[in-house]
Structure 1
Amino acid sequence: MTERPGCPIVGFDHNAPEHSADPVASFRRVREQAPVAWTEAQGGFWVLSDYASVFEAARNHEVFSSARSSHGGEGLNNVIPKAPSRLHIPVELDPPEHRSYRKLINTLTAPAAVAELQPMIDRWTTWFIDEVIEAGACDLASVIGVPAVVTLDWLGMDVSEWRRFTSALHAPLAEMRGSEAYRRAVEEDVPWMQERINETIRERRAAPGDDVVSYFLAQSVDGRPITDEEVYSIVELLISGGVGTTASLVSQTLVHLSQHPEQRQRLLDQPELMERAVEEFLRAFAPTQAMARTALDDVELRGCPIREGDRVLLAWASANRDPAQFDRPDEVVLDRWPNRHTAFGMGVHRCAGAHLARAMARTMIGQVVERMPDYVVDLANARTYPHQGVNAGYVSIPATFTPGRRRGPAAGTGSRP
């Protein structure tokens, strides 16, 4: 570690293969060296890795902005380096503009609204597990398609296209830049997704239905009708959240529970623990590893001089394992409480879909534990995302288990929720 005037410089790049090989160890190294530090990677940015610094910056949107700017290049402001993307509303807006759109989403994702979605979550989870339960072997990554399908169903879009939506929104962040999977997602799947969303918006403008896209099209923003482009931006953001984050959390959790069968048995014996357990899984396996901000003014943070225009990475996953905030931070403690983790972010940009994500995670993990209580993951052949700088998780989780019975219609009947 060398010194930059006024602050430490660390050799850190969350986009590097060595980080993706072990994100927990990578963040631990930088956190122990300097919780606020500068790295020369990706054109240079600040990395905040302890709980106190992440907490302070996340709650100071006046200085640490989520809005798009030319600093650090063009594209999605919330990642370093920026990714090609249309504007995401409201996460790429700061107050007061942010509030006008956020209140529209909050209506749909409040606890009471999510409770109404529980039957849909139950049906889709049951259907996905039914597809594999009789075989005694499967790739559990197929089961974690539930959040993508629930999100598309909720929006009123074609659920049969969930895999391509997943690729379009997840691959640009989870695949290594320059790979064939990254190229295909950016050049083929993203344009396809954009047209599918636009097509749905045109259809709902002409003939509104009882779905979320129709709901947004009927809304007003600051006294004027919402535009189609604004609805597109919100819908793409909701799909992005549904496709990536909950699947990331559940994939990591299922692998962990295979490695710790005593915890899985405890959840089976005491299902009332699931609510707190999911909070602990969120802390230990934060699906979104880190998000970026842009400094709007000169500010000193922990003695380091952050300048206007500097890019700043808030490492949620690292903050969640800070020993100054959490006792035994690298252990999964199913009944840990209180648990003020940062997995959903903090401040005005705290994840609007947190209640929905929790409901899906509880249901998916609960059904797998109940219906496949002895599943064993083939760890030697399990594959993590090639790039784990933004989202951590698994693309393949081969597992075996004692075959069980379907709960829905028999396989091959064509029935689907």
Structure 2
Amino acid sequence: MAWTEAHGGYWVLSDYASVFEAARDDELFTSRRLPEYGGDGLSVTIPKAQTSFHIPIELDPPEFRPYRKVVNKVTAPAAVAKLDAVIKKYVTAFIDEIIESGDADLAFVAGVPAAVTIDWLGLDASEYKLYVDAMHTLVSAPPGSPEYLHAQDVAVPWVTQTVKAHIAERRKNPTDDATSAFIEADLDGRKLTDEEIYSILELIISGGVGTTASLVTSALVWLYQNPTERQRLIADPSMVDIAVEEFLRVFSPTQALARTITRDAEFQGCPVRKGDRALLGWGSANRDPNQFENPDDVDITRWPNRHMAFGVGVHRCAGSHLGKAMAREMIRQILERMPDYEVDMDRVVAYPDQGTNAGYHSIPVTFTPGQRRGELLFAGKARD
């Protein structure tokens, strides 16, 4: 643990043992929004982000558990398995969009989790670009840039309006989508309000779109830089499952999240005080040599792999199964259909801020053109 004076001062937890213990101690390290400590805003970032309230990430037990039970029913492995065909459809369609050209920007993969997630929620997948703008561009584009300002001033308000209207419509006319499942869910004997459902859906969209794109872009650049390992995955696609776990460990798309300390205590030998803020470094913990042998080496056969890329404890990412399913399919199809892609490293653009999400905003590539496998899903439909 170390103390920094940045952003008003906070603790940085960097080793595996400290992060693991803190993430499981919700009584001492709370995720609740406490404006008297560090100001108002989203409590799990430093500085606090000025966003609407998020369920259930800003709740702790016992209030947390009924909401998480509702979310788990929709995001459990069995539920995600039913989306396999949907995931494959969209990955295929996005690659079809560029496969005949021989050159592209591999950052297009950000559209896949957006399309899958909003389709799953029952929204219009042809409008995926606006969701990418709203939830991905804000972490991938330089603050103040035209892209960033468009996302902030146009895309985010549009998403808010669209999602709220969708919830109202589904309450009148439920279907078999995930939004309808939340509307019909039982929360300790009552139904969720529209505001609660919106809070959950916004968190699902923002988390699903940004983190999966971060993971896959990082993995694709590394595979280009390590052609021998890329060839191993091309020769044996079954290796991708374990490789994705290692990519999660090494690249940790969510680098860190914050907590607020609730009382004076001693933690890992440090005198923490009530109201102190603390940053739990998932990415750093995932490189701890006391937990991982040769932690800075990317070993695509590493197993077991007890990384904390999805967090740990009650707040472990509920969408982890869906995120991994999308990442596996994207990597497999790109390696199968564009196996010789060459990255123009001089033109690659990394995220300007790596504190919360890591990844690449732009990855220009060339490759041997291939053939489409189906009809273009979004031709003439997707909004610019």
Q: What is the total number of aligned residue pairs between the two structures?
A: 381
What is the aligned counterpart of 1:100 among 57, 66, 80? 66
Aligned: 1:223 with 2:189: yes
What is the aligned counterpart of 1:63 among 28, 32, 45? 28
Is this contact kept in 1: 2:66–2:188, CA < 8 A? yes
Paired residue secondary structure (1:330): coil
Q: In 1, Cα distance between the equivalents of 2:60 and 2:141?
A: 29
1:148 CA displacement: 0.8
The answer for the alignment partner of 1:54 in structure 2 is 19
- What amino acid is the match of 2:213? A
The answer for the alignment partner of 2:75 in structure 1 is 109
Q: In 1, Cα distance between the equivalents of 2:27 and 2:288?
A: 25
Q: In 2, Cα distance between the equivalents of 1:396 and 1:63?
A: 40
Is this contact kept in 2: 1:409–1:415, CA < 8 A? no
Q: TM-score, structure 2 length as denominator?
A: 0.95
Is this contact kept in 2: 1:384–1:395, CA < 8 A? yes
Aligned: 1:359 with 2:301: no
Is this contact kept in 1: 2:92–2:373, CA < 8 A? yes
Q: In 2, Cα distance between the equivalents of 1:348 and 1:308?
A: 22
Q: In 1, Cα distance between the equivalents of 2:3 and 2:145?
A: 28
1:161 CA displacement: 2.2
1:78 CA displacement: 1.0
Paired residue secondary structure (1:168): helix
1:181–1:408 CA distance, 2 compared to 1 (3 A): closer
Tell me whether 290-299 or 407-416 shows the greater mean CA deviation. Answer: 407-416
Paired residue secondary structure (2:328): helix
The answer for the alignment partner of 2:98 in structure 1 is 132
1:219 CA displacement: 1.7
Is this contact kept in 1: 2:141–2:361, CA < 8 A? no
Give deviations 1:95-153, integer Å, cap 9, x for gaps.
Answer: 11111011111111111111110000000000000111111111011133111110000
- What amino acid is the match of 1:365? I
Is this contact kept in 2: 1:83–1:172, CA < 8 A? no
The answer for the alignment partner of 2:49 in structure 1 is 83
1:366–1:187 CA distance, 2 compared to 1 (3 A): same
Give deviations 1:321-360, integer Å, cap 9, x for gaps.
Answer: 1111111111110110111001000000001111111111
The answer for the alignment partner of 2:263 in structure 1 is 297
Paired residue secondary structure (2:345): coil
1:182 CA displacement: 4.1
Give deviations 1:230-285, integer Å, cap 9, x for gaps.
Answer: 00000001101111011100000000000001111000112221111110000011
Is this contact kept in 2: 1:78–1:293, CA < 8 A? yes
Paired residue secondary structure (1:46): strand
Q: In 2, Cα distance between the equivalents of 1:138 and 1:238?
A: 28
Aligned: 1:196 with 2:162: yes
The answer for the alignment partner of 2:133 in structure 1 is 167
Q: In 2, Cα distance between the equivalents of 1:177 and 1:231?
A: 29
1:187–1:132 CA distance, 2 compared to 1 (3 A): closer
Correspondence 1:389-408 to 2 at 5 A:
389-408=355-374
Q: In 1, Cα distance between the equivalents of 2:199 and 2:376?
A: 39
Q: In 2, Cα distance between the equivalents of 1:413 and 1:355?
A: 30
Q: In 1, Cα distance between the equivalents of 2:215 and 2:288?
A: 19
Is this contact kept in 2: 1:154–1:211, CA < 8 A? yes
1:77 CA displacement: 0.9
1:228 CA displacement: 0.4
Q: In 1, Cα distance between the equivalents of 2:38 and 2:176?
A: 41
Give deviations 1:350-400, integer Å, cap 9, x for gaps.
Answer: 011111111111100000011111111111101011111110011101001
Q: In 2, Cα distance between the equivalents of 1:191 and 1:412?
A: 23
Give deviations 1:205-234, integer Å, cap 9, x for gaps.
Answer: 121122111111112222122100000000
The root-mean-square deviation of aligned C-alpha atoms, in Å, is: 1.8
Tell me whether 404-413 or 339-348 shows the greater mean CA deviation. Answer: 404-413
Give deviations 1:64-114, integer Å, cap 9, x for gaps.
Answer: 011111111111111111111111111110011111011111111111111
Paired residue secondary structure (2:52): coil
The answer for the alignment partner of 1:45 in structure 2 is 10
The answer for the alignment partner of 1:266 in structure 2 is 232
What is the aligned counterpart of 1:209 among 175, 180, 184? 175
Runs (5+) with no aligned partner, structure 2: none
The answer for the alignment partner of 1:249 in structure 2 is 215
Aligned: 1:381 with 2:347: yes
Is this contact kept in 2: 1:168–1:193, CA < 8 A? yes
Identity of aligned residues (%): 59
Q: In 2, Cα distance between the equivalents of 1:180 and 1:83?
A: 21
Is this contact kept in 2: 1:174–1:388, CA < 8 A? no
The answer for the alignment partner of 1:329 in structure 2 is 295
1:415 CA displacement: 10
Q: In 1, Cα distance between the equivalents of 2:50 and 2:130?
A: 18
- What amino acid is the match of 2:20? F
1:133–1:182 CA distance, 2 compared to 1 (3 A): closer
1:181 CA displacement: 4.3
The answer for the alignment partner of 1:236 in structure 2 is 202
Is this contact kept in 2: 1:169–1:243, CA < 8 A? yes
1:156–1:413 CA distance, 2 compared to 1 (3 A): closer
Runs (5+) with no aligned partner, structure 1: 1-35
Q: In 2, Cα distance between the equivalents of 1:137 and 1:180?
A: 25
